[in-house]
Amino acid sequence: MRKTELYTQVLERLREQMPPIDTELDYGSPFQLLVAVVLSAQCTDKRVNIVTKSLFAQYPTPQLMAQATEEEILSHISSVSYPNSKAGYLKGMSQMLVNDFGGEVPSTMEELTRLPGVGRKTANVILAIVFKEAALAVDTHVFRVSRRLGLVPERCKTPLAVELELKKHIESDMVAQSHFWLLYLGRYTCLARKPKCSICKMTEICKHYNQLNKLLKQ
């Protein structure tokens, strides 16, 4: 199957399975989304939504969070992964937003990745959801699913390489949505250790699935 046809079929099947969707994180402002995405690194969205209820009730804006101590922030987020590091990130990020950006979340990759705790993946989520840009965040789910389906070649061994390859083949107005479709396919169906191939609608065109079947028949 040609690459163009594969992308067309994958996106059509994802569109049939899932409505237009974005993040499962709870937030009330661009700042709160940024905080939630930083907290979500190597942590479930469910856990993040639990801790941000009290965190945002106490510190809903960068101005208020910048005034908090790391210990005060830590008391709200202690149950997430790497809480000490993330408390420091949130404190420093809030201070930089207030001091350098007038309390507003910046709108460029360069500016976002200046913020403590914000890498390319986090920045792409913000650009896609808040600023409606054709940004595609590659987390472990998108990375795994893209390679298993055959959307990207084996030489794409980094998140950046996968991101650039996917964007070469997806129409700009579908880039951000495609991220979430691939993400949720990986989160709920194409699991890392035990993919649920028996309920997946992609098996007919999935490179990984068909390679395994071929090996089993030998």
Active-site positions? 121, 139
C-alpha torsion 17→188→77→25, nearest 10: 0
Query: Cα(149)–Cα(20) distance, rounded to whole angstroms?
Result: 21
- Of 121, 122, 131, 66, the closest CA to residue 93 belongs to 66
CB 18 within 8 A of CB 181: yes
Amino acid present at 159 = P
- What token pair was written down for 116? 């403590």
204-216 per-residue burial string, b: 16 or more CB within 10 A, e: under 16: ebbebbeeeeeee
CB 144 within 8 A of CB 192: yes
CB 63 within 8 A of CB 91: no
**Any residues with CB less than 8 A from the CB of 206 and at least 6 apart, and which?**
148, 149, 150, 197, 200
- Of 174, 16, 195, the closest CA to residue 207 belongs to 195
**Any residues with CB less than 8 A from the CB of 157 and at least 6 apart, and which?**
none
